[in-house]
């Protein structure tokens, strides 16, 4: 009788089975890694046996989890052919389910794609706040949060079409790559606009557009000579992610008896004396109440994240990643994730957000770090973000006079620690981003200080990253008004805006002044190999004046940043080892000519000089 009841129960359960999702939704032949982990989701799907018909695809293994609604199929594609093959699911009652899966032909040049590097300038934008190119998608029916533009924490309607419409603006400015904060679905009831609480990792949020729209953005950008960088989130998903509503296994995320926020103490990842509980709470605690922490130690989840990243690179023809909260991940798992991507795409650049305040702590996370090697660790992460330079920039230009550790010595000292980095030239250098106080707010719209900031960012080693709107003087006070205020709408991105700063005819006089300076600086940088990839040599600041050189075999550039409120005289003899045989130079900002046969040059108060030597 028990056997009969069990059989009836099995028949009842399996008769209800259906296939709701298969991920990745399609794949490619010709990938270096020929193993594919196919996730199949459907009610009671693990009661089915699976076989494959056609395509040269081999089923290596079927992996079941504690949740009967999941199957993970380990496929061998080493002999697979492009086209479709059939997955046949059969239950004990001989009921069959069929699913046709597509393998596409990979672009033969895909693996060797060129990524962003120190020849680029990255333009960071938040799509919800940049431009609303398609008002019809503002209130997507399936999305819980509807548009509320008057609320600075609400959805404002910016979208992919808005970015496409203004690619010429970004190109004219002189940027060469676009980093957009996440565009994937984030279907939360409130504060979803920032995009870091994903609810579907294979779907563009319909309020931004479609997957095809994102692919078109990459195509349109490439046609204009612009690269596209995806902001990838490995550490957490949004609490409304479809998979988190029906977990494949309990250890898919880190769970606690009650909500446990991360202690955010990333030093526990390498601290030799850290207690286990402190390290556990840093790495496994949730970043926020709506952001459950993913367990990269789970091999099925890790493979899922790797394949999702590869899928977006291949599908959208992407040029690089920036990875959110990189150092909060399981350090072993995130290293495997990063290596899997760079193994598939050897030239692909990935910059990790390691928001720390000491160079040694940031350097630990860069690929081939000798500091990490002491602990037998290698993150395989090509690029990191120079947060210590950011820290210096946010205060140094309000310090009119130098001291032992104040004024321009802050910037100088930052670079003296570059020996800690395996590759200091592969770092984001920035004054601000979507999480920090706006630089024009810090410096109270002082145009001279803005020029000093941007001249520094554009000419030191590394990859300059600028934040949308600062090039027209945009303000925003995070400390007083929160994140929404530093993520204001770009003027002209919405019908009915008072002025359209995307066009010269629509800018105010002040906006035009900021824009013209930034455009001149960045477009000059685009053509100057010395500041892109040349060597770097600097001199100890004197009288709050910092002088450094960028040079290669064909070009030399002398940068002078006078942070003093007084005009300064620069003795040229001190810089003879870099000036060498050069007899003259021209400041690319003002056009002023300098005769190096003279003993000195003058520089105005709070002014940069960027001198091309001749």
Beta-carbon contacts of residue 34 (< 8 Å; ≥ 6 apart) = 76, 77, 78, 80
Phi and psi dihedrals of 169, rounded to 5? -65, -45
Catalytic annotation present for 577: no
Q: Are 248 and 67 in contact (CB under 8 A)?
A: yes
Query: Which candidate in 353, 471, 489, 612 is catalytic?
Result: 353
Are 126 and 483 within 8 A, CB to CB?
A: no
Quick check: helix, strand or coil at residue 154?
coil
DSSP string, 394-415: HHHTT--S--SSSTTHHHHHHH
Question: What are the tokens at 5?
Answer: 């009841």
Distance set, CA 545 to CA 24, 180, 569 (Å): 55, 35, 10
What is the C-alpha separation between 92 and 562, in angstroms, rounded?
80
Instruction: List the structure tokens of 51.
Output: 């076989």
> Token digits for 215?
């692919």
Contact 162/125 with Cβ under 8 angstroms? no
Whole-angstrom distance, CA of residue 186 vs CA of residue 144: 10
Neighbours of 22 (CB within 10 A): 18
**Joined tokens for residue 164:** 């496409």
Instruction: Give the C-alpha separation, 413 to 122, whole Å.
Output: 25
**What values do phi and psi take at 177, rounded to 5?**
-145, 150
Token pair, residue 555, equals: 């070009």
DSSP 461: S
Query: By the 8 A CB rule, do 540 and 412 touch?
Result: yes
What are residue 261's DSSP bridge partners? 286
Tell me which residue of 507, 406, 515, 549 sits closest to 170, measured CA to CA.
515
Among residues 324, 330, 344, 441, which one is catalytic? 324
For the chain, how many residues are written? 614
Q: What is the rounded distance in angstroms from the CA atom of residue 161 to the CA atom of residue 576?
A: 52
Helix residue ranges, H only, 167-231: 167-173, 211-223
Q: How far is CA 341 from CA 26, 80, 335, 380, in A?
A: 18, 21, 10, 10
DSSP one-letter string for 287-300: SBTTBPBB-TTSHH
The DSSP 8-state label assigned to residue 326 in this structure reads G
Return the active site residues. Answer: 324, 353
């Amino acid at each position: 009788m028990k056997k009969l009841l069990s059989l009836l129960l099995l028949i009842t359960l399996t008769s209800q089975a259906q296939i709701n999702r298969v991920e990745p939704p399609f794949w490619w032949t010709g990938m270096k890694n020929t193993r594919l982990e196919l996730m199949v989701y459907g009610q009671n799907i693990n009661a089915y046996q699976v076989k494959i018909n056609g395509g040269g695809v081999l089923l290596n293994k079927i992996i079941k989890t504690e949740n009967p609604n999941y199957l993970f199929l380990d496929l061998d594609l080493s002999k697979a052919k492009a086209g479709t093959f059939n997955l046949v699911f059969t239950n004990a009652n001989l009921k069959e389910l069929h699913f046709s899966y597509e393998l596409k032909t990979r672009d033969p040049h895909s693996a060797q794609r060129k990524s962003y590097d120190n020849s680029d300038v990255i333009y960071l934008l938040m799509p919800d706040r940049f431009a609303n190119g398609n008002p019809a998608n503002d209130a997507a029916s399936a999305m819980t949060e509807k548009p509320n533009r008057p609320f600075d924490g609400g959805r404002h309607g910016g979208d992919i079409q808005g970015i496409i419409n203004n690619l010429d603006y970004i190109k004219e400015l002189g940027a060469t790559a676009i980093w957009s904060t996440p565009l994937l679905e984030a279907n939360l009831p409130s504060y979803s606009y920032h995009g870091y609480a994903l609810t579907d990792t294979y779907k563009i949020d319909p309020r931004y557009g479609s997957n095809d729209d994102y692919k078109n953005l990459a195509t349109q950008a490439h046609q204009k000579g612009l690269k596209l960088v995806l902001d990838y989130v490995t550490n957490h998903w949004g609490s409304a992610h479809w998979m988190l509503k029906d977990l494949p296994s309990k250890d898919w995320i880190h769970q606690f008896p009650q909500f446990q926020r991360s202690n955010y103490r990333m030093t526990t990842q390498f601290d030799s004396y850290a207690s286990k509980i402190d390290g556990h709470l840093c790495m496994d605690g949730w970043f926020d109440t709506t952001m459950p922490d993913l367990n990269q130690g789970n091999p099925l989840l890790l493979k899922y994240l790797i394949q999702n990243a590869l899928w977006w690179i291949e599908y959208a023809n992407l040029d690089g990643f920036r990875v959110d909260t990189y150092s909060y991940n399981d350090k072993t798992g995130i290293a495997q994730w990063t290596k899997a991507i760079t193994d598939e795409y050897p030239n692909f650049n990935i910059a990790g957000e390691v928001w720390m305040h000491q160079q040694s702590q940031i350097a630990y996370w860069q690929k081939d770090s000798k500091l990490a090697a002491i602990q037998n660790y290698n993150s395989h992460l090509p690029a990191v973000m120079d947060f210590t330079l950011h820290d210096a920039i946010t205060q140094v230009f309000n310090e009119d006079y130098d001291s032992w550790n104040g004024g321009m010595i802050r910037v100088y000292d930052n670079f003296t620690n570059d020996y800690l980095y395996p590759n200091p030239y592969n770092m984001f250098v920035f004054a601000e981003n979507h999480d920090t106080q706006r630089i024009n707010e810090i410096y109270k719209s002082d145009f001279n200080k803005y020029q000093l900031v941007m001249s520094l960012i554009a000419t030191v080693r590394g990859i300059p990253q600028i934040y949308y709107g600062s090039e027209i003087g945009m303000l925003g006070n995070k400390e007083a008004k929160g994140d929404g205020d530093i993520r204001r709408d770009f003027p002209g991105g919405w019908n009915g805006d008072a002025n359209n700063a995307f066009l010269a005819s629509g800018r105010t006089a002040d906006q035009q002044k900021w824009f013209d300076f930034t455009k001149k600086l960045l477009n000059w940088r685009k053509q100057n190999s010395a500041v892109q990839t040349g060597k770097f040599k600097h001199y100890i600041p004197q009288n709050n004046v910092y002088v450094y050189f960028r040079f290669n075999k064909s070009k030399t550039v002398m940068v002078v940043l006078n942070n003093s409120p007084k005009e300064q005289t620069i003795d040229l003899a001190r810089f003879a080892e870099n000036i060498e045989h050069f007899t003259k130079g021209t400041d690319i900002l003002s056009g002023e000519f300098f005769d190096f046969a003279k003993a000195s040059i003058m520089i105005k108060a709070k002014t940069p000089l960027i001198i091309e030597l001749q």
